[in-house]
Amino acid sequence: MLAYLKEVLSSMRWQDFMDILLITFILYRLYVWLQGTKALRILIALAALGLLYLLARWSGLFITTWILQYLWAVILVIMVVVFQAEIRQVLERMSPLNFFLGQPEALDRLALEEVVRTAFELAKNRIGALIVFQRRDILEDYLKGGIPLDGRISFEVLSSIFLPPSPAHDGAVIIHGGRIVSVGCYLPLSDNPALPRNYGSRHRAGIGITEKGDAVSLIVSEERGEVLLAVEGEITRMGNAGDLQERLGSMLFKGQRKKSRWPSALTANLVPKGIAFALVLLLWGFIAGQQRAEMWLTVPLEYRNIPTNMEIAGELVNKVEVGIRGPRGVISGVSQDQIRAHIDLSQGLRGLNYLRITTDNIRIPVGTEVTKINPSSIRIRLEDVKTRSVQVKAQFIGKLPKPLRLETVWVEPHFVVLQGPESRLTKVREVLTEPIDLSRITENTKISVGVDVNFPQIRLAPNQPSHVAVEIKIEKGS
């Protein structure tokens, strides 16, 4: 493992280093952008599944790789269905400018002072109120009812909304972008069983909206005359206006930019930055090592499922060149015996057939992939299998000793039946025996010799003898 890491790191170029830094920056900004939202948890879950798939494939875990590969699409569909609201929020918030430069301020300090002043004044007079600050997450999917207002934030406007004679006093006020966007809105109630029993619907609505996203709600209790702040499903009682304004300001305002922002930008949030860098470095090392090795092998081509009573006629392509690619450790151990190539002729027709050789025709080790096949297509002629009876003739080499000479030669059986493709078989007129050396014959003899069927794709038919008897009679010359 250490040798592999050393080899991969030694081949790193400056372009690779810049590539790693760029992806690390994007990954970190994505974390900052989604921090505290459900979308971040979705992203972490998907990243974990992807990392598990890569590790399983790299280590050769066949079953795990197979399951994750075929279930990945199903998992993504389930994620989309279950978290469609959160994904919609992420897409609606997506902006290249905001992504790299951050979110603009949504509220000025004077308007915030007006909100805080209103909350404590209403609490003093025992008038209930619910004010929700929309931050990055979209709230439209969770709001019911409501009256669009798009009004300026002021003590007078907010006070008049929550006075009992007002038709919108029981609903919530939504503040976004420094303005009151709607009033009289009804929010989803929290179903947290740990909440105190004395919390009414206003408290549960104020907490419930913060459980759905990153919104912040300000709750004024008319029974106890207190001001409460709800964030991420947690509620806090605020003792005075100063503490509330400071707490809201820390969540709704971006801090003042310091003159020396680059050193602080590099040293802040070192843990998530380090994790992002480590993940990108690991991913780069995995990808860099995955497709670095490639090799070519010449393997036999097997013909399967030839139709009954048909045969291949003409010259055959018996071998193909296959290029495979994969992890260096896997490629280095691949042998020619581990790769198989075949052609399926079950759908072949009589005559000329043009067939393509694809990756489906190649069997390769797990964790590798086919890059090239040569040739990528072949031409096969299929013909009916026929039989034909042909004469057998004895084949001689050498000469009889003097003064002997051949008188008669008789072959038994005199004919044999051959089998093969029709076009090949029609060209065969006779077959010969294996060579008989006449220089060793000095008298009449009868010997058994094999039939030499020396024709491409032609063979003896079933139940035909592979040897014949040759009877040789000689006589003395004058």
pLDDT in tens, 288-312: 655 557 888 899 999 999 888 888 8
313 or 415, higher pLDDT = 415
Q: Residue 321: what pLDDT?
A: 92
Judge residue 244's burial from the number of C-beta atoms within 10 Å of its C-beta, 0-12 exposed, 13-18 middle, 19 or more buried. Answer: buried
> Which secondary-structure segment (H or E) carries 436?
strand 436-437
Residues 6+ apart with CB under 8 A from 134: 106, 174, 175, 176, 181, 215
Predicted confidence (pLDDT) at residue 413 exceeds the cutoff of 70 = yes
Measured distance CA(174)–CA(138) in Å, rounded? 11
Mean pLDDT computed over 190-201: 84
> Which secondary-structure segment (H or E) carries 447?
strand 445-452
Judge residue 285's burial from the number of C-beta atoms within 10 Å of its C-beta, 0-12 exposed, 13-18 middle, 19 or more buried. Answer: middle
pLDDT grade, residue 417 (50/70/90)? very high
Mean pLDDT computed over 260-271: 62
The overall pTM is greater than 0.85: no
Predicted confidence (pLDDT) at residue 313 exceeds the cutoff of 90 = no
Measured distance CA(243)–CA(198) in Å, rounded? 25
* pLDDT tens digits along 228-251: 999 988 889 998 888 888 888 888
Q: Residue 10: what pLDDT?
A: 61
Radius of gyration (C-alpha) of the chain in whole angstroms? 44
> What is the separation of C-alpha 82 from the centre of its chain, rounded to a whole number of angstroms?
21
Q: Which of 70-74, 197-201, 472-476 has the lowest mean pLDDT?
A: 70-74
Q: Residue 96: what pLDDT?
A: 53
Q: Residue 33: what pLDDT?
A: 64
Measured distance CA(274)–CA(264) in Å, rounded? 15
Average pLDDT over the chain, rounded to whole?
82
Q: Which of 27-31, 114-118, 351-355, 390-394 has the lowest mean pLDDT?
A: 27-31
Share of the chain above pLDDT 70, in %: 83
Domains by residue range for the chain, with CATH: 2-100+262-289 (no CATH), 109-252 (3.40.1700.10), 291-375 (2.170.120.30), 386-476 (2.170.120.40)
Q: Residue 277: what pLDDT?
A: 84
Residue 383 bridge partners (DSSP):
311
Contact at 8 Å (CB) between 438 and 399? yes
Q: Residue 205: what pLDDT?
A: 92
Predicted confidence (pLDDT) at residue 102 exceeds the cutoff of 70 = no
Query: Is-cis flag, bond preceding 96, omega within 30?
Result: no
Mean pLDDT computed over 423-438: 91
pLDDT grade, residue 132 (50/70/90)? very high
pLDDT grade, residue 255 (50/70/90)? very low
Contact at 8 Å (CB) between 338 and 360? no
Pairing of strands 351-356, 377-393: antiparallel
